[in-house]
Amino acid sequence: MRFFSHRLGEGSPRVGAYRDGVPVDLGPGELSDLLRTEDLAAAARRIASAPHLDESTITLLPVIARPSKILCVGLNYVDHRAEAAISKPAEYPDFFVRFSTTLVACDQPIRLPSVSGALDYEGELAVVIGRGGRYISRSDAHAHIAGYSVFNDATLRDYQFRSSQWTWGKNFDDTGAFGPVLVTPDELPRPVEQGLKIETRLNGEMMQSASTADLIFNVATLISQISEAVTLEPGDVLLTGTPGGVGMARQPQRYMRAGDLVEVEIEGIGTLRNRVEPEARP
């Protein structure tokens, strides 16, 4: 199944899905509410009888608009560690967090803050939790996944490295693009551990190209280790890390500028597209 979050006109959030490639409306609410209150079999029955949507009337929202937790992993691809000049093997994931106020949907603008010119792209596989829990074993982790999506973990590099903690550079408003859809695991051409192609393009130029098989800490390991510390809840989002090719590591450096089009595509899931627009300060 393929779900999306949207609104009609200026209305309140609604849940949509695709039936035979055609968008249908599952009614008002947020996708996280559906994950908390329904199993996916019940959702499938509703999709079968849901009314069609006119795509021209749809305004997409972030797949999960207000996650209770956005849990991120840094330096989780070997090539990204190498371009960051980190030679020591990874022994434990580098966890940090994002806030829900950073999120924007597919086709909405990523905002370039007026205080920085170092806005970098980071294409990532996003995992959405469907069943919560604590102390989740690796062997059971996939039973807790509702589905997968695409994320651009856009980062203000100058702010990221102003302290030993990365959080500030990762949490400017309107810099975390998320969408366009949530895809259930059964829809994927193969499990993420066997490798889905992930690519980031800036104005059509390939900047990142890798496979999810190259993750140092795979999805099951990340879910298990996170749940040692916090209780995962339906609708929580896990960002699994970005591969090599980021703008900061290039010579010369290649940061996103106003007017740029950035696209992150993951095989079997879809393409997240966003223009970069300057922030309008009050």
Regions of the chain with pLDDT less than 70: none
**97 with 246: CB under 8 angstroms?**
no
Closest residue by Cα to residue 75 from 61, 96, 99: 96
Q: What is the pLDDT of residue 43?
A: 86
pLDDT tens digits for 47-62?
999 999 998 889 999 9
**pTM of the model as a whole:** 0.97
For residue 225, give the 3-state DSSP assignment.
helix
pLDDT tens digits for 223-275?
999 999 999 999 999 999 999 999 999 999 999 999 999 999 999 999 999 99
Q: What is the pLDDT of residue 44?
A: 86
Q: CA dihedral in degrees (152, 157, 161, 164; nearest 10)?
A: 0
Specify the DSSP element, H or E, that contains 205.
strand 205-211
Q: What is the pLDDT of residue 99?
A: 98
3-state helix vs strand vs coil in the chain, percent to 5: 25, 35, 40
Greatest distance between any 2 Cα atoms in the chain: 54
Q: What is the pLDDT of residue 39?
A: 77
Question: What whole-number distance in Å separates Cα of residue 82 and Cα of residue 262?
Answer: 24
